[in-house]
Amino acid sequence: MEDEKSEKLIEEMLEDSIIYIKIFNRELTNLSDKKFMKTFFWLVTIKNYDNLSMSGLAKTLNISKTQITPRIDELVNNGLLERVPDENDRRVLRIALTAEGEDLIHNSNKTVKEALNLLLNPLSPDELEELGKSIETIKNTVLKIQGVI
């Protein structure tokens, strides 16, 4: 039962990665390569918030566009992302995963799940359930503040 709760929570954490980047950043980067974890979570965020503009991604990650541009450039140069012109406004560039970016997410899921499992391992089943409910509350509050729900 504990494994089932833990697995469900990990799946939810991967779906809503942006929240967990902020909450568990220090712990996750201690468990795995910092750059890898940040890259992974950025790619998952871009996948989950399909068709984001640079400005939209900056807002979603709660960082300035000037901070995001060099990182996006790096991910584009590494073949993980591509900039796609907006169909309706040629001034706007959207960020999309490449096939290589999709593959990285798919192939890295096991590593990331293991890191998250280590993070959650000390928690009892009741604590896992409480954490899950708390995270759901935080997620809904953040989405409401952002005007998504």
pLDDT digits (tens, 9 = 90+) for 77-105: 999 999 999 889 888 899 999 999 999 88
pTM score: 0.66
40-76 confidence digits (pLDDT tens):
878 888 888 888 888 888 887 778 888 889 999 999 9
**Is the distance from CB of 18 to CB of 41 less than 8 angstroms?**
yes
Fold of 2-145: Arc Repressor Mutant, subunit A (1.10.10)
CB within 8 Å of 118: residues ≥ 6 apart: 31
| % of the chain beyond a pLDDT of 90 | 20
Structure confidence at residue 127 as a pLDDT band (50, 70, 90): very high
- Binning pLDDT at 50, 70 and 90, where does residue 130 land? very high
Work out the pLDDT band at 38, boundaries 50, 70, 90: confident
Compute the average pLDDT of residues 4-26.
67
Q: Which of helix, strand or coil describes residue 149? A: coil
Residue of 10, 18, 51 whose CA lies nearest to 145: 18
pLDDT, mean of residues 2-31 = 65
Contacts of residue 106, Cβ cutoff 8 Å, sequence gap at least 6:
none
Average pLDDT of the segment spanning 12-36: 62
Q: How confident is the model at residue 26 (pLDDT cuts 50, 70, 90)?
A: low
State the average pLDDT over residues 120-138: 88
Stronger pLDDT, 148 or 9, i.e. the higher one: 9
